[in-house]
Amino acid sequence: MNALDQLYQQVILDHSRERHGAGALESPDATSHQVNPTCGDDVTVGVHVVDGRVDSIGWEGDGCSISQASISVMHDLVVGADLDTVARLEADFDALMHSRGRGVDASVLDELEDAAAFEGVSKYPNRVKCALLGWIALKDALLKAGVPLDAASTD
């Protein structure tokens, strides 16, 4: 294993142990519960949006280290971000996960910060669902809160 793979593996392990944003959000604008039927991972994400920014998210869930770490990293990326940035990050992470190990542009990896650690996960289709679970829940919670990400990037 090369040094970059080791670093990426360590990022995922660290986030799966120290879950940033874990815990239910008090008075969310909306929540979304998602389950990966393939493996049983589940998450409930609550979101609070203020003035076009994700003010806070909280989450509760159970699952593999990949799903839990991905949600933790997602929390760090989106809290405080405007909705256009969140939409771009979600699209970039989705593209990374569907790259099947071919990778994405270096600028995308830079923007994804710690989420770039999941690049190796894209080689394993069954694990891609684990990594995307929290992002799907966030996107759905924002839709339920009346701020769909698809509309955020077209305004």
Domain carrying residue 20: 3-152
Predicted TM-score (pTM) of this structure: 0.91
Q: Measure the CA–CA gap between 64 and 74, rounded to whole angstroms.
A: 16
Task: At 77, give phi and psi (nearest 5°).
Answer: -75, -40
Overall domain count for the chain:
1
Would strands 42-50 and 30-35 be described as parallel, antiparallel, or unpaired? antiparallel
Ordered per-residue pLDDT tens for the chain, 155 residues: 566 566 568 889 999 999 999 999 999 999 999 999 988 999 999 999 999 999 999 999 999 999 999 999 999 999 999 999 999 999 999 999 999 988 899 999 999 999 999 998 999 888 999 999 999 999 999 999 999 887 655 44
- CATH number assigned to the domain comprising residue 109: 3.90.1010.10
The C-alpha angle 59, 113, 81, rounded to 5 degrees, equals 55
Tokens of 61: 């869930």
Residue with tokens 């008090």: 26
Structure tokens at 5: 């793979």
Can you tell me the distance from the alpha carbon of 117 to that of 6, in angstroms, rounded to the nearest whole number? 10
